[in-house]
Structure 1
Amino acid sequence: MTNSKIILVTGATAGFGKAIALQFAASGWDVIITGRRQRRLEALASEMEAAYGIRVLPLTFDVRDRQSVKAQLEALPEDWQAIDVLVNNAGLALGRDTFDQADMDDWETMIDTNIKGLLYVSRGVLPYFEKRGKGHIINIGSTAAKDVYPMGNVYCATKSAVEAISKAQRIDLLSKKIKVTAIHPGAAQTEFSIVRFKGDQAESDKVYEGYHALEAKDIADIAFYVANLPEHVCINDLVVTCTAQANAFFTHKEV
């Protein structure tokens, strides 16, 4: 048995999820990492174990697959069940098109990942929180939850749903002493835009030209801070942008 705290991070193979996993591992937390890319998960697990001497449990599944999420989380080994923090990070944007031109398959993927996946994983981890009488859910949202922007339509809708679900979780789980924090990052230079533009590096680069965007480590620092506050303190909602960004609409670029 171990006395280390345990964090579960979804979408841990890149971006915010990977940075968050590394941040907590560096501080001695044991880490459950999930994602679809098994080789990346296993490589990250080996890296963290070697660098920080902590335990890592990689779980390969797609958060959109309700049955796989349920099966894997129900089957957690007993010494991994005392989860302290869940970070619902898995999410994506696909396409940047007007409502009438958007690919409906992209809509389905965003809805299934950003909303349903968050719900499935939260429900899968909840019994472990309830058994211990405490826990902390950190949902990674977006400034897109606060301001709908042109050609953001369904992505913005999914992140608005993350905000609403976070509020609902906070209310419904209040008596169970479960904290719920929503972190809403603005523009961040990760794989996000590469995925959104389906591998178009030139289009992705344009998003970040002329200013210093957020970095994955910035969000990892914030997640670590909110997860390590005293038990009686919960930061409910955080909007985080780089200095050059005011909100989802306004970014100052040096050109």
Structure 2
Amino acid sequence: MPELVAGDPERSTNDGDRPDPAGVALRPFGYLLIGLVWLTIWLFAVGLLVGSVGFLAYDDPESLRTGGQGGDTVPVGQAITLFVSAIFVAAIIGPGGWHILTASWPLAVLSFVYVVRSLRPSYAGEKLSFTAYGFRGSTFGPPTAGDIALSLQPVRPSRFTDRVMRFYIAGWGWNGRLLLAMLPAGLAWSTAIGALMPGIPDVAHVIFWVLTGALLLTSLVLGVRAFRAGPSTDGGDEEADDVSVMDLSAEARAKRLKQLKKLRAKRIGQR
């Protein structure tokens, strides 16, 4: 899970913290646009993962036949190559698909929550979201030169946003148990291709379908257990800094953010 090093603590409704009138008027459109962008990313990822199965299964099906002998079965050598490739791809598709999907839809949902809040007078005098930061290399995504911005976190958390934030942090953070849990799902992506692939015996289709269902169910069970277990917090106060802010209560989170902000300021001062 990403360790947050700084953030914008919960804002009060004091005059100095009030957003300017132009920002209040425009932020429903801004949050709506951001939400649509993240929703589009999520839909594209789903379409890519699902659509690629059918594309790879049916694209140029003649290449999957024996050819020279006129048979309708996949050559042994090609089957072995496909199997080895499936194992390699599983390590990428499973965990990678989990992170891409889970890193995008919570941001879309939170953005739409802020659209609704921005239209309510009770939220007009305060900020709706803030940005915290994760240490370089502690979050999912390409390497960066500095800390990772984790934006769109709710200033005023609720039971619903707390649940969404659990997926948010799970999608952007590293959790070894979740990564392992998604490996069977990655293998199911490959077996699903086999289940749809022309040129193989009907019994092979049935076997591939059964394997696909079993692998997806395995990832579901293991993933739910890993998600509910959350990050390990054993080790006492000495390892308290390794606990994600989003795994704390709202009150503890605000206090934690202030502590981390002081810690980051101290580190910057020592550079």
User: So what's the TM-score if we normalise by structure 2?
Assistant: 0.25
Q: Which protein has the bigger strand share?
A: 1
The structure that has the greater radius of gyration is 2
Between 1 and 2, higher relative CO (CA 8 Å, sep ≥ 6) is seen in 2
User: So what's the TM-score if we normalise by structure 1?
Assistant: 0.26
Q: Which protein has the bigger helix share?
A: 2
